[in-house]
Structure formats: C-alpha cells, structure tokens
Amino acid sequence: NNLDTLYRQVIMDHYKNPRNRGGIEGDTLTVNMNNPTCGDRIELQMQVEDGKISEAKFSGEGCSISLSSASMMTEVIKGRPVEEALELADIFSKMMQGEDYDDEKFDLGDIEALQGVQKFPARIKCATLAWKAMEKGLNNEEE
C-alpha cells in the first residue's frame, strides 16, 4: 500500500543522502546512544543557543532505519526551541506505539512515513534510537 511504498522511499532517500551527518566544532551537547539489541550506536551533537537548537548533527554506525531516522530527526528539530523538540519526541514515541498523536501542531514532514516500521516490531528500537538520544541530551540540559 501507499504507506509501505512511502516508507521505503523515505528511508532510502535519507539513508543514501543523510541530512546533518557529521560533527559540530566547539561547545556542544553530545549524547551517545546504543541499541542494546544489535550494538549499533549513534552520536548526536546539538548546539543550543537562547533555548533554541541552532545546530544538530549525528554520526555513528547503524542500520538503514536508525540512520535515516537520525537524519529525519535532526532535520525536524533544527532551529526549534528545546520544548518543541521535546514535544516532537513525544509525538514520535506515540506514533511508534500506534497511539493517537497530534498531527496538526507541527509539520511532521518525512517522519510520519516511519510508521511503516510498525510492521516490523523488532525495528522500532532502530527508529527511536536517535530520538532517545535527543531527549536525553535536552532533558539533561534543562536540569
């Protein structure tokens, strides 16, 4: 069906042409997160200025789902206030659990296509890896 096709296209697009892959020079919020099931890991770096995420980049090794999800995640949080990024993480987590979520407040762009991952429950951890890193980093920042 359409969601399956979209899912594959969006994942391949972000996997082949990752947005925001690399590192950031200087003072950054750096979070390492691994998927215990497979050992894959990503490193996420964010720069927060005046309560806004001015820059976000990721590196590391992982499967196509985890890396494409990191690409989409960094794309959607860049330039946003910290609290909006955390709201988005909440929406994404609901999406992954098949719960109802607010699809009107934000332009969710490509990330909605990741719902296709629900057909492969073992891969949900792959899709959420980068999002967990983002939440962890920003929650520590706020303390």
Site residues, ligand FES (CB under 6 A) = 35, 37-38, 40, 62-63, 65-66, 122-123, 125-126, 129
CB of 41 to ligand FES, least distance (A): 8
Q: How far apart are CA 136 and CA 138, in angstroms?
A: 6
Between 82 and 111, name the residue whose CB sits nearer to ligand FES. 111
CB of 116 to ligand FES, least distance (A): 14
CB of 47 to ligand FES, least distance (A): 25
Between 38 and 86, name the residue whose CB sits nearer to ligand FES. 38
Between 40 and 55, name the residue whose CB sits nearer to ligand FES. 40
Q: How far apart are CA 48 and CA 87, in angstroms?
A: 16
What is the phi/psi pair of residue 126, to 5°? Answer: -65, -45
3-state helix, strand, coil in the chain (%, to 5): 55, 20, 25
Between 95 and 133, name the residue whose CB sits nearer to ligand FES. 133
Asked if 19 contacts 71 with a C-beta cutoff of 8 angstroms, the reply is yes
CB of 81 to ligand FES, least distance (A): 28
Q: How far apart are CA 104 and CA 92, in angstroms?
A: 13
